[in-house]
């Protein structure tokens, strides 16, 4: 065992302890796969990352560092909030990118570009493949979620590294009121993302119901730290929840990979504009905000603020 620089970063929030934390070991060199997995299991966070030098071929293609991403039970080829949190930690620790305009991360899905978007970092959503789930699978998942067929507007299996069975539901209240049977979802073996587009009438109903739900869809007091970005923080356009019992996480607070694939799907189908804000985490007492933008070339960027909550060393 040896001391290694370590940070725990809260992602998709400008206020500490309201986003989704990721543990970042800034030097994962010399550790076995077993040691990496054991430490990730010990942190008991949805993801733990280990930074490494990029491979020679990736470095030649512009990569600044390599990241390995672990849940408590398995390694992931890509994940969104660990990407932003790892990049935040790498930059804070003195990392200098090869390019002045972007940071390039190497991970199992390949090279992921990250750009500075004012006070945020934003990653380029990886390529998405999507398909229609079978009627039988959709019925089983709907039953485990406790939703009726008429409440499901659309469904797709989304794959951008992680695979999500995504459901677009009829309104935000349906999403926020879900009380899934997590054991049933685990047995089905599907990670499930649910979302609903905010409508003014739905937003008013939510505000009337409770302060917790109003945080996702009502007028939001802008965080002073947001500065010039405060104007586009006023309200969310999409509410999202992510259930990942098959990998040991009943509900993920704020999920970058899911929001990336939802954006690519829902934009392509005309449900959302080329720039919007998603809210996630209200049902867990979090206040995650995910900023989505599609550039003129069609690339979707997924961004958010990050805050370092723990800075020190770990012995691994």
Q: Which domains does the chain have, with CATH numbers?
A: 3-125+304-315 (3.10.310.10), 129-292 (3.10.310.10)
Res 235: pLDDT: 83
| C-alpha separations of 252 from 70, 223, 288, 291 in Å | 14, 23, 11, 17
Res 234: pLDDT: 54
Task: Give the rounded percent of residues in the chain with a pLDDT score beyond 70.
Answer: 89
Among positive and negative, which fits the CA dihedral 240, 280, 188, 108? positive
Q: Give CA 104 to chain center in angstroms.
A: 18
Reduced to 3 states, what is the DSSP secondary structure of residue 64? coil
Res 172: pLDDT: 97
Res 199: pLDDT: 76
Instruction: At 312, give phi and psi (nearest 5°).
Output: 180, -135
Annotated active-site residue 213? The verdict is no
Q: Residues in the chain with pLDDT < 70? A: 200-234
Q: What is the pTM of this model?
A: 0.88
- Check 34, 47, 106, 213 and give the catalytic one: 47
């Amino acid at each position: 065992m040896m001391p290694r620089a370590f940070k725990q970063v809260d992602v998709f929030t400008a206020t500490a302890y309201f986003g989704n934390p990721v543990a970042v070991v800034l030097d994962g060199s010399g550790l076995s796969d077993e040691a990496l997995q054991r430490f990730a299991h010990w942190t008991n966070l949805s993801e733990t990352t280990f930074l490494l030098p990029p491979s020679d071929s990736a470095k030649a293609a512009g990569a600044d560092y390599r990241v390995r991403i672990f849940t408590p039970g398995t390694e992931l080829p890509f994940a969104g909030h660990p990407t932003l949190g790892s990049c935040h930690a790498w930059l804070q620790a003195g990392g200098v990118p090869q390019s002045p305009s972007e940071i390039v991360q190497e991970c199992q899905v390949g090279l992921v570009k990250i750009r500075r978007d004012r006070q945020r970092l934003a990653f380029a959503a990886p390529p998405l493949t999507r398909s229609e789930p079978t009627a039988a699978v959709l019925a089983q998942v709907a039953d485990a979620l406790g939703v009726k067929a008429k409440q499901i507007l659309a469904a797709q299996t989304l794959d951008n590294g992680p695979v999500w069975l995504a459901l677009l539901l009829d309104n935000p209240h349906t999403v926020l009121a879900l009380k899934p049977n997590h054991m049933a979802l685990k047995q089905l073996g599907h990670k499930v993302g649910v979302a609903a587009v905010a409508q003014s009438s739905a937003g008013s109903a939510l505000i009337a119901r409770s302060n917790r739900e109003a945080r996702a869809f009502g007028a939001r007091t802008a965080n002073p730290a947001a500065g010039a970005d405060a104007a586009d923080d006023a309200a969310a356009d999409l509410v999202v929840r992510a259930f990942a019992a098959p990998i040991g996480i009943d509900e993920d607070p704020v999920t970058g990979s899911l929001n990336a694939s939802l954006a690519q799907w829902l934009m392509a189908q005309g449900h959302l504009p080329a720039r919007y804000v998603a809210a996630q985490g209200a049902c867990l007492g979090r206040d995650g905000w995910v900023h989505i933008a599609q550039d003129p070339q069609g690339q979707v960027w997924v961004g958010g603020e990050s805050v370092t909550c723990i800075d020190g060393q770990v012995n691994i």
